[in-house]
Amino acid sequence: MNSLDTNPLSNTFDEAPFSSLKNEHFLPAIQQAIFQKKEEIQKIITNKDIPTFQNTVAALDYAGEQLSRVTSVFFNLNSAETNEDIQKIAQEVSPLLAELSNDISLNEALFRRIKTVFDQKDQLDLTPEEQTLLEKNYKSFVRNGALLPEDAKEKLRKIDKELSQLGLKFGENVLAATNNFELLITDEKDLNGLPEGAKEAAKALASSKDKEGWLITLDYPSYIPFMKYADNRDLRKKLSIAFGSKCYQDAFDNQENVLKIVNLRYQRAQLLGYSSHAHYVLEERMAKNPASVQAFLSDLLEKSKPAAEKEFQQLQQFAQELDQIDQLQKWDSAYYAEKLKQEKYALDDEVLKPYFELENVIDGVFQVASRLFQLQFKEITTIDTYHKEVKTYQVLDKNGDFMALFYADFHPRAGKRNGAWMTSYKTQMQKEGINSRPHISIVCNFTKPTPTKPSLLTFNEVTTLFHEFGHALHGILANTTYPGLSGTSVYWDFVELPSQILENWCYEKEALELFAKHYQTGETIPMELIDKIKKSSTFMEGMATLRQLSFGFLDMAWHAGNPEGIKDVKKQENEVFKQTDLFPEVPQTCMSTSFSHIFQGGYSSGYYSYKWAEVLDADAFDYFQENGIFDKDTATKFKDHILSKGGTEDPMQLYKRFRGKEPKPEALLKRAGLI
C-alpha cells in the first residue's frame, strides 16, 4: 500500500489531524501537495479558452489549497512544538517551496494569460475585490521576475532558495541559543526582590529538569521578572548579557547569516530593478518608499527624544539616590523603572497579577469581542491538538452560525519559540457558493501556573493577549471571496491596526470590570488601581518609543541601501544606535544576530510598521472614545470596513471609510504623553 494512503495529510481535511501526525508524514504530504498545485497551474495554462478573470486569476488564487493547509500545519508546529527532526524537514521543505514559488512566478505561459486579463482590465466589469486581486497578481509576477531574461530568472531562483534556508537556519540558531542558557541559583539570597510567584516558577522549572535550586532562563516569563525585580545586580548583568549576546560570538553565531541574508536580499532587489530591498518591499506598503519611512521615524525621534532623555536623567538620579549607582546600565533599566513606578504610582505588577488570572482574561477578551462584534465563544474538547495545553473554541455569530475554529496555546515549552503570534490553519474564502470559515490560532509564552497558584498574568501579558486576539479577530471575521485577500492578507504596515487597537480596552474601566477579578476573593479590580493603570500607561513612554524607533532605524540601515561594504555586524549596529542610545554600549552584545522579526519573520523593511500602526490605532480608538468604547455603530463600521475586508482594497481607502478621514500622528503623541 502506498504510504500516502495512510498519511493523514495526503487527503483533504477540515480540522488539522494533529494526534495522527508523525514526523515522517510531512515531507511526502508536502511533495504530493506541490505536485497537485503544479497540476492545477498546468490546467490554467493549457485551458484553450480565452484568458478571463475567472479561468485565470481566480483559478490561480484558489490553486494549491491543499498545500497551504499542509504547510500551515507544518510550519506552525516548527514554531510552537518543534524538535530536531522537524527542523531538518523544514530545511528540506523550504527550498522546495521556494522553487515552486519561482516555478509559478517565472512561468511565461501563465504570466501571458494574466497579462492578457490585466491589459483589458478597464473593459472588464470587475468588483473592487476582483480589481485588487488582478493587480496584486500581475504585480506579484512582475515583482518576482516575470519580465527578466532567462539567465536572470535562474539567478533569482538560486537566491530565493538560499534565502529560504538561511532564514530557517537563523531561527534555529536563536531557538538553540535561547534554550542553551540556564542560570541555576542555589543560594536563596540571590533571589531577593523576586516576587513569590516568580520564585515558585523558578523552583518548579529546576525540579522539572531534576535540578536543586531555582532555574532562570532566557524565556520571557522567566527572564523579565528577574530583570525587573532581582536585587542582585551582578546576576541581572549576567542574564542581560546572555540575552543580548544570543547568536553573537557563540556556538550559534548568526553574524555570517545576517550578512549573507542582507546581501542576497540586495542582489535580488537589484536583479528586479529596485535600488534596495527596502525599495522593493515598501512599494507594496502604505508607506510606499524608504524616504517616507525615514521621515516618519525621524519625525517621531525628534518629538520623543527630549522626553526620553528627561526620563533617563530621572531614572539615573533615582538609582543614584537609592543605591549610589553612578552609571545606569542596560541591566538596571527595568529594575529601577519598576521601583520608580512603584514610588510614583504605588503600582506593582504583583499587586495587579491576582486580578488577572489567565482564565478570567481569556473570558474578558471574549466578552469584549462579544460586546463589540456579537460573537460567542464555546470551549470544545473534541478538537485535535498538538499539545495537551492547547485550548480550542467554536466561534459563533449572534444567530449561532459557525464563524471560526479558534486554538490558543499560552505557556512556554522547550520546543516553542519565544514571543507571541497569531496564525491560521485554514483561510476563509468563498468558493462554489460556500463560505468556508477559517481556523485561527494564537500562540503565547505566558507565566505558567505553579503548584499553589493559577496562571496569573502581568499587565504586559494581558495587553499581549488582547494584541494577539486582535489579529485573531481579523482572521475570524474575514469575509472575502478570495483566499489571497482574506483576513490578515493585507499590507504589512496595516496588519497591526486590529491587534494594537484592541490593547486600548485593557486600560478602560468599562472593560476591566468585565474580567479583572481577584482570583481568590472574586473582588472586581478597585477603581484606584484602574486609575493607576491609566496614569502609569505613559510612564517612561519616551524611552519605550526611542527603543522601538531604534529597531526601525536598524531594520532600514540593513535594507535601505547597498550592504556590500558592511563587514562588521556589530559596528553597523553601533553606528545606527548612536542616535537613539541612552545607555552605555555593551561590547559583548549584538541585537541583529537574534533580531528574528527582520531576519526570519516577515518584518524586513517593515519594523517601522509597529509605530505606523500605533498612529492608526490611536486615531481609530479616539473615534471609539468619542462615541463610547462599546458603541455598536462604531464597532460595526470597524468590522465592516476593516476586519471583514482583509486586503480587498487599498488600506487607506478602507481606513477613511471607517474613520471619515486620514489618520494623524497627534492622537498617538497625545496618548503617549509626548505632547
Question: What average pLDDT does range 53-75 have in this prediction?
Answer: 97
Could you confirm whether 284 is annotated as catalytic?
no
Cα gap 240→224, rounded to integer Å: 10
Domain formed by 3-147, architecture: Up-down Bundle (1.20)
Axis crossing angle, helix 569-577 with helix 255-271, rounded to the nearest 10: 80
pLDDT tens for each residue of 405-438: 999 999 999 889 888 999 999 999 999 999 999 9
* SS3 labels along 83-97: CHHHHHHHHHHHHHH
In this prediction, residues 644-663 reach a mean pLDDT of 96
**Overall average pLDDT of the 379-398 stretch:** 97
- The residues spanned by each domain of the chain are 3-147, 181-244, 255-352+541-598, 353-540+610-671
Residues 6+ apart with CB under 8 A from 472: 406, 422, 440, 441, 442
What would the grid cell of residue 277 be?
Answer: 530591498
Residues 157-171 have a mean pLDDT of 94
Nine-digit cell string for 312 = 533617563
> CA-CA distance, 190 to 231, in Å (whole number)?
8
**DSSP assignment, residue 517?**
B
C-alpha dist (Å) from residue 378 to 361, 386, 586, 635: 15, 20, 49, 22
* Residue 601 pLDDT > 90: no
Fold held by 255-352+541-598? Neurolysin; domain 3 (1.10.1370)
- The CA–CA distances, whole Å, from 13 to 220, 383, 403, 405, 483 equal 35, 13, 18, 14, 17
Grouping H, G, I as helix, E, B as strand and the rest as coil, residue 482 is coil
| Mean predicted confidence (pLDDT) in 477-488 | 98
Q: Could you give the 3-state DSSP secondary structure of residue 446?
A: coil
Q: What is the pTM for the complete model shown? A: 0.85
> Cell 486569476 maps to which residue?
57
Confidence (pLDDT) at 424: 96
Give yes or no for a contact between 603 and 609, defined as CB atoms under 8 angstroms apart.
yes
| Torsion region of 660: left, alpha or beta (phi above 0 gives left; psi -120 to 50 gives alpha) | left
Cross-strand partners of 423: 441
Residue 671 has pLDDT above 70, yes or no: yes
- Answer whether residue 206 shows pLDDT above 80: yes
| CA atoms within 13 A of residue 223's CA, in its CB half-sphere | 21
What does the pLDDT look like over 169-199, one tens digit per residue? 999 999 999 999 999 999 999 999 999 989 9
Residue type, 482: Y
Tell me how far apart the alpha carbons of residues 498 and 150 are, in angstroms, rounded to a whole number: 42
Biggest CA pair distance of the chain: 82
CA distance 457 to 359: 10
Quick one: which of 252, 251, 244 has its CA closest to 171? 252
The answer to whether domain 353-540+610-671 has CATH 1.10.1370.40 is yes
Task: State the average pLDDT over residues 433-449.
Answer: 95
Return the residue matching grid coordinates 468590522: 639
d(CA 518, CA 541) in angstroms, rounded, equals 28
Backbone phi, then psi, for 132, in 5-degree steps?
-60, -45
Q: How far apart are CA 338 and CA 326, in angstroms?
A: 18
Fold agreement between 255-352+541-598 and 353-540+610-671: yes
| pLDDT bucket at 3, cuts 50 / 70 / 90 | low
Residue 18, SS3?
Answer: helix
Containing 528, the helix (H) or strand (E) segment is helix 527-536
Check 200, 468, 573, 614 and give the catalytic one.
Answer: 468
Q: How high is the pLDDT of residue 81? A: 93
Residue 2 pLDDT greater than 60, yes or no: no
* Length, in residues, of the chain: 675
**Identity of residue 471:** H
Q: Which residues of 309-330 are buried (b: 16+ CB within 10 A; e: fewer)?
A: eebbebbbebbeeeeebeebeb
* Local confidence band at 1 (pLDDT 50, 70, 90 cut-offs): very low
